[in-house]
Amino acid sequence: MKIGEIANAAGVTTSRIRFYEKRGIIAPAARGPNGYRDYPEDLIALLRFIEQAQGLGFTLREIASVEVRSGPHPISCAEAIGLLAKKRDAVDALIAEAEERKRRIDSLISELQESQARSED
């Protein structure tokens, strides 16, 4: 498959695929006699996997480090669970931080509303 075809199939842009290759997130593509990249259908699944992982909050750097090992040494189920658990903790921390922000905003709003009420006496 040519780059445009696989991009269409996976719902990503061609520039993104080239960018992933440049960054080492995906392996360099095989080339046809004209120099065009030639992809196996498998790559569609990989591209979708990348999008999913990003959606869960994994960075491309993190995804790449898993990808690298999916060749000769695929990551074990236990390892995957470990990575996911770590990411869940990070998301938890993010949520806690955002909730703290929200609390501070709310208390600021209350303060302002009170001072507004007082000024209307």
Partner DNA sequence: ATAGGGTTTGAACCTAGGTTGAAGGTCAAG
Partner DNA sequence: CTTGACCTTCAACCTAGGTTCAAACCCTAT
Query: Given the rule CB under 8 A, which residues bind its own copies?
Result: 55-57, 77-78, 80-81, 84-85, 87-88, 91-92, 94-95, 98-99, 101-102, 104-106, 108-109, 112-113, 115-116, 119
Residues 53 and 70 sit within 8 Å (Cβ to Cβ) = no
Q: Confirm or reject binding of residue 55 to DNA (CB under 7 A).
A: no
Q: Which stretch binds DNA (CB under 7 A): 11-19, 40-48, 69-77, 104-112?
A: 11-19
Q: Produce one character per residue of 72-95: b if its CB has 16 or more CB atoms within 10 Å, e if not.
A: eeeeeeeeeeeeeeeeeeeeeeee
Half-sphere exposure of 30 (CA within 13 A, CB side): 8
- Asked if residue 52 binds DNA (CB under 7 A), the reply is no
Contact footprint for DNA (CB under 7 A): 2-5, 13-16, 18-19, 29, 33-37, 54, 59-61
